[in-house]
Structure 1
Amino acid sequence: MLPAIESATREIRCLDGMWRFAVDWDNTGIDDRLYADSLPGNREVAVPGSVNDLFADEDIRNHVGHWFYQRDVRVPRGWDGERIILRFGSATHHAVVFVDDVEVGRNKGGYMPFEFDITDRVAPGGTFRLTVAVDNRLDNTCIPPGEVRELPDGRRQQNYLHDFYNYSGLHRSVLLYSRPARHVTDVTITTDYTGTTGHVTWEVAQSEEGPVRIAVVDKQTGEVVARAGGTRGTVDIEDVTLWTPGVGGLYDLVVALLDDADGPVDIFTQHFGVRTVRVDGYRFLINDTPFYFTGFGMHEDHETIGKAHSNAHMVQDAELLSWIGANSMRTSHYPYSEEFMDYCDRHGIVVIDETPAVGLNWMMAGGILDSGGGETYEEGHVDDDTQATHKEEIRRLVARDKNRPSVVIWSIANEPDTTSPKSVDYFRPLVELTRECDPTRPVGFVNVMFAPYDVCRITGMFDVIMLNRYYGWYVDSGDLETSERKFAEELKGWTEKYRLPIIITEYGADTVAGLHSIYDQPFTEDYQVAYLKMNSKVFDECEAVVGEQMWNFADFQTKYGFARVDGNKKGAFTRDRRPKAAARYLRERWTSMEAARYGRRDHRAR
């Protein structure tokens, strides 16, 4: 899906702010037509925002089912003759949308944008009542999957196998925007370079056939560096500025749909960067230069707002990434907001882009316990319906982020069960689909500790190896000498069997900020640093390791249980972004590594 942008032919009205709010306690609100009038009560809710932490009411926090959002919207009178689009950045996990008394559409999936054309339901200069029923329920047809259970007393309980809190709500901006009747519907850009000349190939889709003109603009200088016509083609950029980690370097492809008089009918601008990505033996190459990933798995997670996007929090997190010397991150375990991804494009933050496929593993719950109750790949768990949704999530992710220079790997799942023979038939079509959607980037998945090189059945399908490993924490906790030996031995096995680059996408130890000991005791800041030093030694001694992304950037909220006291505490930073001792250690290590300084080199093509 194309981003919503403003141009000479497109306008946007942001609908963020305070909305009316009601809890659908019995989940009968749609049948009862709550949308047909003002919502009952006087509660309000912030958009964007997660519902769960906003109210001093535990029943609202724990509600399983629908929440209703509502507001009145005025359509600008200057939009007469335009198509009028209602766009949601996300609704976690499902949404039913009503304009006045009419349902205009539904969406399944909690992390991707969706939109509806409401031109025939509204009038420029008039107002309409917008109501959204947001549903937080997960079942096995969802990505991520879950199960709703009814307790003996009638209460509903949402169970899920991922180790982060199931925040729900309208987490990203809601927009009303206009576009012409004939408009750009898709843009695909691929790039390459030879010497100092960049090669840009484009393909444009439109709602109706007609002439197309394109221009390539250097975003730094505003200079037009190439022009051409047609719905597809290739142009060259002389003395090209390559998109480079740590630096960025963007161009705009300005697409103009023309009428018979050669005037613009629609103008759409898509940013991109000229860069290449490929795997060569153990090396991961960006612009034909070996790249070493330093950084984190991260969560969209902040106090009060939960998983909601906030520009201020985004800037703070990005600044901390820069301060600590990180050059990359993984969008664990779902697609991040478009605003965050745009920021990564502009500032040269390298991204491993991940689908919401987490929890596909009945061997474990939240990464730490056996979930019980059967096998992973069976009817009612991970089955054909799950796979169909998984395919759709891959299509939507690639369609949204295919033009982003920051995205260098598609991660199609986190810690699935890959020991089962049935995992082969589940994942092979997903890998093929990802490559069909985008043949230009490596494809990977994140391997769980229970599936080492001699047990995992699907690694050979992929282009890179991404490992989550917790030697010294979940395995041999407190015994770093044994952990070092076991970890090194396992990496040797991966290296010799597959001869692919290895990225350690998770390694970490829960740490209570401010807890110290003269001994390296688990949960102390001292142990977290010792643990990281042990892991660093193992990485440095394995030639196939091309990256380290500590788990996690910051402490984050999880569902409560004896294994999680107020959330996961593995962060280098606390949840309110205060550095632990580990952050100082990582800053010293990463800022001193030549590989981590790759992004600060001369970014002109050689």
Structure 2
Amino acid sequence: MDPGPAHKSGAEDWQCPFLCHRGLVNYQISVKGSNLFKLEVRLLDAENKVVANGTGTQGQLKVPGVSLWWPYLMHERPAYLYSLEIRGKGFDWPLLVKDFNLLRWLGANAFRTSHYPYAEEVMQMCDRYGIVVIDECPGVGLALPQFFNNVSLHHHMQVMEEVVRRDKNHPAVVMWSVANEPASHLESAGYYLKMVIAHTKSLDPSRPVTFVSNSNYAADKGAPYVDVICLNSYYSWYHDYGHLELIQLQLATQFENWYKKYQKPIIQSEYGAETIAGFHQDPPLMFTEEYQKSLLEQYHLGLDQKRRKYVVGELIWNFADFMTEQSPTRVLGNKKGIFTRQRQPKSAAFLLRERYWKIANETRYPHSVAKSQCLENSPFT
């Protein structure tokens, strides 16, 4: 008798035992219809070969001799995240492939889904390309006290359940982000973020949880509850216009204050400058390609002072220019991209390519930095 379609009550839970390199897949299946049925579960690899099987509505599949996906190796050998923020609105296969090939060209290894979960096809591409993902929910715009209420909290928890349920089996996902730039200095925000973070941890105890802050370190009420501190700062852009010489001091002060208070790893989750392709000026002025390049260089000098200590990542805003609503602060959209909307490189793209491949080779050969591979011989060129 045909019992009807089988429905999975939860996606398979992929666990990675790093020492023995054996894959474990826990599954639970509910079947609607008759109880008279026989159920066989088979796990296939990329070549459609059966690598594990089981019977019954729940159990655990054991896969011997698995080849670990790269980011999981970070548990054995610490790694550093370096990349750009990618906008995920809309979905276009050719554009997606182009963007991932540009990430390879840059030598980048990560991005944050700012500020919402991206299409499942994007996550699949991350799995295939070995790109680390900080998976962020649509918790953006929480700027007013009235937003931190019980109704919003309940909905926020539901959203995190949906995000974790959909993406937890993607090996590319290494961290959950529950919000971007909330008003985390408010007392009500402290309890709100504490509950959302705790709920997310209960859904997936295996991954760290964070939110992205732009609050003052001394006033942030949510920072005590995260595993990793993510910071957005735009020195010499939204303030101290043109004063590139201040960036290293400001960045060092930012990092030292946050680490001294919370003793947690830090990611510089946004930094950058608006740049109109083709605009040039010496000495560098705002909106020119020279200014963007010089600003990034100053940030990198500051980041390098801390990245071998407690700074564990740097994510530039933004990968490519994108359109926004009209305002006097935008010039035909957001121009903070390293690439134009047509995916042509600005001067800063070549700076980043040199930096990212240098960091990649340092990570690959931690005891012999001099043993660097030529970019032309890289499999990603």
TM-score of the two chains, using structure 2 as the length reference = 0.89
> Following superposition of structure 1 onto structure 2, how do residues 86-105 of structure 1 map, counting pairs within 5 Å?
none
> Following superposition of structure 1 onto structure 2, how do residues 62-461 of structure 1 map, counting pairs within 5 Å?
180-208=4-32, 211-219=38-46, 221-245=47-71, 275=72, 286-300=74-88, 307-361=89-143, 376-378=144-146, 381-448=147-214, 451-461=215-225
Q: 1:185/1:583 Cα in 2 relative to 1: closer, same or farther (>3 Å)?
A: same
Checking the alignment, whether the CA contact within 8 Å between 1:409 and 1:441 is kept in structure 2 is yes
Instruction: Return the offset for 1:211.
Output: 4.9
Please report the RMSD computed on the Cα atoms of aligned residues, expressed in angstroms: 2.2
Q: Secondary structure at 2:52's aligned position in 1?
A: strand
Structure 2 stretches of 5 or more lacking a match? 366-372, 374-381
Match of 2:302 among 538, 543, 549: 538
Distance 1:235 1:585 in 2: 46
Higher helix content, 1 or 2: 2
Q: Secondary structure at 2:151's aligned position in 1?
A: helix
Q: Secondary structure at 2:25's aligned position in 1?
A: strand
The one-letter code of the counterpart of 1:541 is Q
Once the two structures are superposed, what CA deviation does each residue of 1:228-281 show, in whole Å capped at 9, x if it has no partner?
223333343332200114xxxxxxxxxxxxxxxxxxxxxxxxxxxxx4xxxxxx
Distance 1:351 1:487 in 2: 24
1:491 aligns to what? 255
1:10 aligns to what? none
The one-letter code of the counterpart of 1:311 is W
Once the two structures are superposed, what CA deviation does each residue of 1:179-236 show, in whole Å capped at 9, x if it has no partner?
x5343343231312253431303122324366543233332x4432322223333343
Checking the alignment, whether the CA contact within 8 Å between 2:11 and 2:165 is kept in structure 1 is no
Once the two structures are superposed, what CA deviation does each residue of 1:478-524 show, in whole Å capped at 9, x if it has no partner?
11222221110110111222222111110000111110011121111
The one-letter code of the counterpart of 2:85 is G
Share of identical aligned residues, percent? 38
Instruction: Return the offset for 1:393.
Output: 1.3
Distance 1:410 1:212 in 2: 34
Tell me the number of residue pairs that the alignment of Structure 1 and Structure 2 aligns: 360
Checking the alignment, whether the CA contact within 8 Å between 1:183 and 1:207 is kept in structure 2 is yes
Match of 1:578 among 340, 344, 350: 344
Q: 1:507/1:420 Cα in 2 relative to 1: closer, same or farther (>3 Å)?
A: same
Once the two structures are superposed, what CA deviation does each residue of 1:20-65 show, in whole Å capped at 9, x if it has no partner?
xxxxxxxxxxxxxxxxxxxxxxxxxxxxxxxxxxxxxxxxxxxxxx
Q: 1:212/1:432 Cα in 2 relative to 1: closer, same or farther (>3 Å)?
A: farther
Q: 1:483/1:573 Cα in 2 relative to 1: closer, same or farther (>3 Å)?
A: same
1:558 aligns to what? 324
Distance 1:444 1:534 in 2: 26
Structure 1 stretches of 5 or more lacking a match? 1-80, 83-179, 246-274, 276-284, 301-306, 362-375, 602-606
Distance 2:198 2:8 in 1: 28
Over alpha carbons, which structure has the higher Rg? Answer: 1
TM-score of the two chains, using structure 1 as the length reference = 0.57
Q: Secondary structure at 2:297's aligned position in 1?
A: helix
Once the two structures are superposed, what CA deviation does each residue of 1:392-435 show, in whole Å capped at 9, x if it has no partner?
21111111101110100000100000111111121121111111
Checking the alignment, whether the CA contact within 8 Å between 1:591 and 1:597 is kept in structure 2 is no
The one-letter code of the counterpart of 1:419 is H
Q: Secondary structure at 1:576's aligned position in 2?
A: coil
Instruction: Return the offset for 1:477.
Output: 2.0
Once the two structures are superposed, what CA deviation does each residue of 1:444-482 show, in whole Å capped at 9, x if it has no partner?
00011xx12212111110111111111121132211222
Runs ≥4 in structure 1, deviation > 4 angstroms? 595-599
Distance 1:483 1:518 in 2: 19
Q: 1:230/1:455 Cα in 2 relative to 1: closer, same or farther (>3 Å)?
A: same
Once the two structures are superposed, what CA deviation does each residue of 1:543-589 show, in whole Å capped at 9, x if it has no partner?
21111110000111111111112111100001111100010100011
Q: Secondary structure at 1:197's aligned position in 2?
A: coil
Structure 1 position 476 matched with structure 2 position 244? no
